[in-house]
Chain A
């Protein structure tokens, strides 16, 4: 493979509470190729969203900070840029869409203006050009009758249309990487399928790269090229989609897969992962999954496993990985 479009090395997000530092995202490293869709999965609180906000340097609270070696995108190191440089890059190179479109669109601003604002700021377009471009983007995201819809306010759109509008706001600036944070969680299944299909089309048409954050392995299975699993702030496995779904090697990935309602439909009881994730301010010295892991051995309690390449293109952080045959 050629040089990846986005290269993240050792990205950490650290919270300062009182006198202590708590590491919420711990030394995340991954590559994202051109036109690749990476699914970032994990349970709530595992750091998926914070990691992505960290790499955009858009952290939601002042006591959070980003540390790390580098985040390389389009010849820049995002960790070295000052705030002005970062602002030039955000939107233009890196777009982001969120779970709840209603709370991320300005209710007092027409949809068209929200799309045009970014186009004017980043591309220096005139109002008229920006408006024409906004109509074109709305058409691309599948809004019917974009000429008249461009003057609507968000409340005049349905939930699915608002999500399309938010995608249009992000696409208006022509980013190369789109971070989609649970883009379909708030939507109904039939609308979810429409939005996922739209994201795939945009990738095919524009060569857009994407990081799709989701807790639903079903969503990820139907859209992504590769899957990265996070647990308690760390990446535990990262590989090609088919490999990850057919032969997960980390016990947590295998457990997540087995918990999905569609897995093993004949079984009477659902598979579960006993216990709960550790608290991030009270992490064990060893593997963070150790207390819930059916495979754990004494070493797991003592030593934190590093994310290492287990086979070409497949990285794994586990002392006792499952055999390549799946659940042992």
Chain B
């Protein structure tokens, strides 16, 4: 499979609040701190991590919706961080995003048909005369009746709104869709419907999907590969089945242990992970995870962990294998 997206050592910083009087002591938050990942055409990559670890910022920086301050975002071989307006316009035509809250992602005053037609007009995907027909097609593609084009978001359910969000993303006929927590706000029975829809669309259209979530159970069902993020860095990446059965980074292991399983015989983990993530304003030295890590060695606080690459898997830890 050809690589569609390659992110190399991406850095995103924001100015922090409380930077002193007249901004004399500027402080920066490193939301994404040297993250790297690859996504092949037609592949689904799950991006997981705790809230605040920089998942959404990374996604927005990939789509050039948030400026990055270092590293590369190679989309189809072009570095979009250095991209000229023509490159960025191409990125906009070939990528799309699906958001977490389906209600706030849609304009409540527009009809569903207008919401979809607007994308088609702006991106000039089809001649003006064919727009209504294409809107109908898109709605059918996501399993909605074409009559819904006349309705407004307020009269649709959450699941239906999320389907409209997906239809809007599909309107540009993208090669890459970034879905940011797109099922988190939905009930389980509806969540399954949306995941099945994404699975089906991926097969039918050969879409690459970057699926951001904090729900590891969903990743196991939907994704080919998974990247685990902690405090702005990717700590482990690999095929979903391998990572879930034998995690190599202690953080991944703790996350997988904490999944609330429906098996009543399984007990709650004793203490999967001590404490809570430190503030990104004040990142720990060396390995960012070392203060919470039960396998930390004395040197972990001094030097950044080495990266181990074994086959399709990659993880950043002093230990080449997860210690027992």
Contact = CB atoms under 8 A, between A and B. Distances in A.
Given A190-B272, A262-B259, A255 B189 contact: yes
Contact of A269 (B196, B260, B262): B196
Contacts of A136: none
A310 B170 CA distance: 49
Contacts of A241: 264
Interface centre among B218, B220, B262, B271 (most CB of A within 10 A): B262
A215 interface: yes
Interface in A35-82: 43-44
A43 B191 CA distance: 11
Contact of B187 (A159, A197, A215, A223): A215
B189 A259 contact: yes
Interface residues of B, number: 39
A190 B50 contact: yes
A270 interface: yes
Contacts, number: 117
B189 A218 contact: no
A142 to B, nearest CB: 11
12 contacts: A43-B189, A188-B50, A189-B214, A190-B254, A190-B255, A196-B268, A223-B268, A259-B189, A260-B262, A269-B199, A271-B192, A272-B196
B216 to A, nearest CB: 7
Given A265-B220, A270-B192, A276 B260 contact: no
Nearest to A273: B189
Contacts of B82: none
B264 A221 contact: yes
Interface string A212-228: 00011111011100000
B259 A270 contact: no
B58 to A, nearest CB: 17
B51 interface: yes
Nearest to B267: A222
Contact of A158 (B199, B273, B276): B276
Given A191-B50, A222-B260, 7 more contacts: A158-B276, A192-B258, A241-B264, A260-B188, A270-B195, A270-B221, A273-B192
Given A161-B276, A269-B196, A262 B261 contact: yes
Contacts of B258: 189-190, 192-193
A261 interface: yes
A304 interface: no
A263 interface: yes
Given A161-B276, A193-B268, A194-B271, A272 B192 contact: yes
Contact of A200 (B257, B268, B272): B268
A268 interface: yes
B204 interface: no
B215 interface: yes
A183 interface: no
B188 A259 contact: yes
Interface string B233-262: 000000000000000000000110111111
Contacts of A272: 189-190, 192-193, 196
Interface in B53-83: none
A232 interface: no
B320 to A, nearest CB: 24
A311 B225 CA distance: 46
B305 to A, nearest CB: 20
Nearest to B186: A44
Contacts of B263: 221, 245, 262
Interface in A209-250: 215-219, 221-223, 241-242, 245-246
B157 A193 contact: no
B217 interface: yes
Given A260-B217, A261-B220, A191 B196 contact: no
Nearest to B189: A273
Given A261-B220, A269-B196, A242 B269 contact: no
Nearest to A255: B189
Contacts of A44: 187
A257 interface: yes
Given A191-B276, A215-B187, A197 B262 contact: no
Contacts of A91: none
A160 interface: yes
Contacts of A262: 217, 220, 259, 261-263
B195 A222 contact: no
A328 to B, nearest CB: 19
Contact of A222 (B191, B261, B273): B261
B153 interface: no
Nearest to A224: B264
A189 B261 contact: no
B159 interface: yes
Contacts of B25: none
A256 interface: yes
B192 A245 contact: no
A268 B200 CA distance: 10
A-B CB proximity, top 9 nearest: A218-B260, A261-B217, A270-B192, A272-B192, A273-B189, A188-B50, A43-B187, A190-B273, A189-B258
Of B188, B199, B258, most A-chain CB atoms within 10 Å = B188
B186 to A, nearest CB: 9
Given A188-B50, A259-B192, A261-B215, A222 B221 contact: no
A198 B187 CA distance: 26
A268 B199 contact: yes
Contacts of B264: 221-222, 241-242, 245-246
A277 to B, nearest CB: 9
Interface in A151-177: 158-161
B290 to A, nearest CB: 16
